[in-house]
Structures are given as structure tokens and as C-alpha cells.
């Protein structure tokens, strides 16, 4: 059975208008509108918020700067750091830090258990472009 991610303990909520479709738990950044974050060279968008609701282009949703992301289907590794994703898809998180020249490295959280990641986004904090 598949479970949808849930935002627990969301703090610092903001209402935004989406410039691209997003699902609960996906990371968002601003680049001519709120879009899915991405670490990849040429299309990099640093994560500033995490979607608290799903929506399509033009929808107003609530997003957060801090939260606990619960996802029973994603076997997180307790104690591991999580980064903005480069390869598996925009808006996602991975334990593998991007290493390609031109990518951005942004740590966004740490896994508290196999089902929960503590997300804490401070724009500009801990973001590094690989030279």
C-alpha cells in the first residue's frame, strides 16, 4: 500500500502561488515563480520551502521553512544528512551530495528515523556551488 507524505510540526508557514505543479513534501525554490528545487547544473534552484499541500500551476498553497516530513514509503536512513536532489527528480531529497561541476550542494535535513526527516530550510545557509 502506498502512503502519501505528511508534513508534521510545520513552522514558519507562508502562502505561495505555484509556478509549477508540486506535491506535499517536495522542496520549492523561487525562480520566476515558485518551482521544484533542483541541484543540477544549468537548472539549479535552491530549496527555500517545503510544500505543505499539493497543487498545480496557479494554485495557492501553504509551504513551510521547517517541518518533520513523514513518509512511510521512503526508507530514510536514521542519522543521515539529506540534500537537494540532482538526479532522481526535482523537488526530492537524497543522501548523496551532488558532486558535478556547476551543481549546488544544499543540505536540507537529517533523518530522525526510517520514516521521518527533520527539514530546516534557511535560504542561503549551507548552499555551495561546485566549481
Query: Does the pLDDT of residue 125 top 70, yes or no?
Result: no
**26-54 confidence digits (pLDDT tens):** 999 999 999 999 988 778 889 999 999 99
Query: Does the pLDDT of residue 12 top 80, yes or no?
Result: yes
pTM comes to 0.91
pLDDT at position 130, please? Answer: 77
Q: What are phi and psi of 125, to 5 degrees?
A: -85, 120
Q: How many CB atoms lie within 10 A of CB 78?
A: 12
pLDDT at position 41, please? Answer: 77
Return all residues near 42 (Cβ < 8 A) that are at least 6 apart.
102
Quote the CA–CA distance of 77 and 112 in Å, as a whole number.
8
**65-119 confidence digits (pLDDT tens):** 999 999 998 889 999 999 998 765 688 999 988 888 888 899 999 999 999 999 9
Return all residues near 63 (Cβ < 8 A) that are at least 6 apart.
13, 14, 15, 16, 28, 34, 49, 50, 51, 52
User: Which has more pLDDT, 16 or 87?
Assistant: 16
Contact 51, 17 (CB under 8 A): no
Averaged over 5-21, what is the pLDDT? Answer: 96
pLDDT at position 90, please? Answer: 83
Quote the CA–CA distance of 56 and 41 in Å, as a whole number.
25
Amino acid at each position: 500500500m502506498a502512503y502519501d507524505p505528511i508534513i508534521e510540526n510545520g513552522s514558519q508557514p507562508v502562502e505561495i502561488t505555484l509556478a509549477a505543479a508540486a506535491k506535499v513534501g517536495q522542496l520549492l525554490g523561487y525562480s520566476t515563480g515558485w518551482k521544484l528545487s533542483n541541484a543540477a547544473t544549468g537548472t539549479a534552484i535552491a530549496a527555500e520551502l517545503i510544500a505543505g499541500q499539493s497543487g498545480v500551476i496557479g494554485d495557492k498553497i501553504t509551504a513551510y521553512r521547517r517541518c518533520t516530513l513523514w513518509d512511510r514509503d521512503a526508507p530514510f536512513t536514521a542519522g543521515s544528512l539529506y540534500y537537494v536532489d540532482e538526479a532522481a527528480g526535482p523537488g526530492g531529497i537524497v543522501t548523496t551530495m551532488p558532486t558535478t561541476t556547476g551543481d549546488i550542494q544544499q543540505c536540507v535535513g537529517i533523518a530522525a528515523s526510517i520514516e521521518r526527516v527533520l527539514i530546516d530550510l534557511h535560504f542561503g545557509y549551507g548552499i555551495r556551488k561546485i566549481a
